[in-house]
Amino acid sequence: MRFGVAVFPGTWSDRDCAHAVELAGHEAVMLWHKDTSLRGADCVILPGGFSYGDHLRAGAVARFAPLMDSVVDFAADGGLVWGICNGFQILCEAHLLPGALTRNSSLQFRCQPTWLRVESTASAFTAGSSRGDVLEIPISHGEGRYVADDATLAALEDEQRVAFRYVAPDGSPVGPASPNGSMRDIAGILNANRNVLGMMPHPERASEELLGSSDGMRLFQSVARSLARDGAVAAAAR
């Protein structure tokens, strides 16, 4: 399978995502922000970083890159799009996902392990897990607090489009130990068609035991298996 990894000025998780993809046994191609070609990618990753320095608002400038026009079209056609950290922020600014990411409630940047409960397996990204699985995946952000209005939050819950929720290591509610104060402890969400995932934690940093956890690798493998089984566009609509 071919994963396209977007590179905006200021992106730095591109190499880490490519590394994780290759470790999973698949091909990674880099997608330059000024180009419009997705180079035949089966899944597009918008990786973490500080695109454009996060100036004005995180993701606010990157969403207007020529590459993003192609990504928006690809998503509309059902293509798999995976936003990680800054990628999630870009997806929200581009309105491919609802809500917004704001400053951590601690007002500080936080780099630490978090535990995510898989809330929905109805997507190419999470089909390889079971509901209730707890994955150990680190965060690294200063603006990761997910906020949305009540109507949006209700829709996300009713339609089971919350993909991951922050929990305590044993799976119980994270409470005041929330890493960033996200509403409903939301760590990752899906769009209505379930082909676009945005998540704040970094699965590419939990891709090998040597790095402390390989739980993130499960997500990469899930995407690849879904694509292999169902073909590119069809994989999205599970």
Partner 1 sequence: MTWTAEIVVQLKAVVNDPQGLVVRDGLRRLGFSGVGDVRVGKYIQVELDAADAETARQSVSDMCERLLRNPVIEDYRIVNIARAVERAAAK
Partner 2 sequence: MTVTSAELTEPTSAQLAEVALTRSEYDAATAQLGRGPNHLELGILGALWSEHCSYKTSKPLLRGLPTRGSRVLQGPGENAGAVDIGDGLACVFKIESHNHPSAIEPYQGAATGVGGILRDIFTMGARPIALLDSLRFGPLEEPHQQHLFDGVVAGIGGYGNCIGIPTVGGEVYFDAVYRDNCIVNAMCVGVVPHAKLTRARARGPGNAVLLVGADTGRDGIHGASFASVQFDASSQSRRPAVQVGNPFLEKCLMEACLELAGDPRVVAMQDLGAAGLCGSAAELAHRGGVGIDVDVSRVSRRERGMTPYEVMLSESQERMLVVVTPEEVVGVQAVFERWDLHSDVVGTIVTTPAFVVRDGDDVVCELPLAVLVDGAPERGAPGPRPSRSPQPGEPAALPAWSADETLMRLLGSPNIGSRKPIFRRYDHQVGDGTIVLPGGDAAVVRVPGSRRGLAMSTDGNARYTAADARRGAAIAVCEAARNVVATGAAPLAVTNCLNFGNPEHPEVYWDLHDAIAGIAEACDALGVPVVSGNVSLYNESEAGRIDPTVVIGMVGLLDDVERRCAAGFAADGDLIALVGPVGHGIDSSELEHLAFGMDRTDSAPDLDLDLERRVHRFVLEANAASLLRSAHDVADGGLAVALAECCLWGDRGASAELDELAHERPARSRVAGILFGESQSRFLISHPREALVQLEELAGRHSVPFQALGSVGGRRIKISGAIDIALDVAVRAYEGALSAGG
Select from partner 1, partner 2, none the partner in contact with residue 20, using the beta carbon and a kind-dependent cut-off of 5 to 8 Å.
partner 2
Q: Other C-beta atoms within 10 Å of 228: how many? A: 12
Considering the complex, what minimum distance in angstroms separates the CB of residue 208 from partner 2?
Answer: 8
Select from partner 1, partner 2, none the partner in contact with residue 211, using the beta carbon and a kind-dependent cut-off of 5 to 8 Å.
partner 2
Residues near partner 1 (CB under 8 A): 52-53, 55-56, 60-61, 64
**Binding flag, residue 207, partner 2 (CB under 8 A):** yes
Closest CA to 224 of 22, 26, 23: 26
DSSP letter string over 5-43? Answer: EEE-TTB-SHHHHHHHHHHTT-EEEEEETT----TT-SE
Whether 75 and 33 have beta carbons less than 8 Å apart is answered as no
CA contacts within 13 A on the Cβ side of 25: 7
3-class DSSP state of 101: strand
Select from partner 2, partner 1, none the partner in contact with residue 56, using the beta carbon and a kind-dependent cut-off of 5 to 8 Å.
partner 1
Judged by CB under 8 A, the residue of 79, 83, 99, 138 near partner 2 is 138
**Binding flag, residue 64, partner 2 (CB under 8 A):** no
Catalytic residues: 85, 202, 204
Return the structure tokens found at 117.
Answer: 């409960």
Residues that bind partner 2 (CB under 8 A): 9-13, 15-16, 19-20, 48-50, 52-55, 108-112, 138, 140, 142, 202, 204-205, 207-208, 210-212
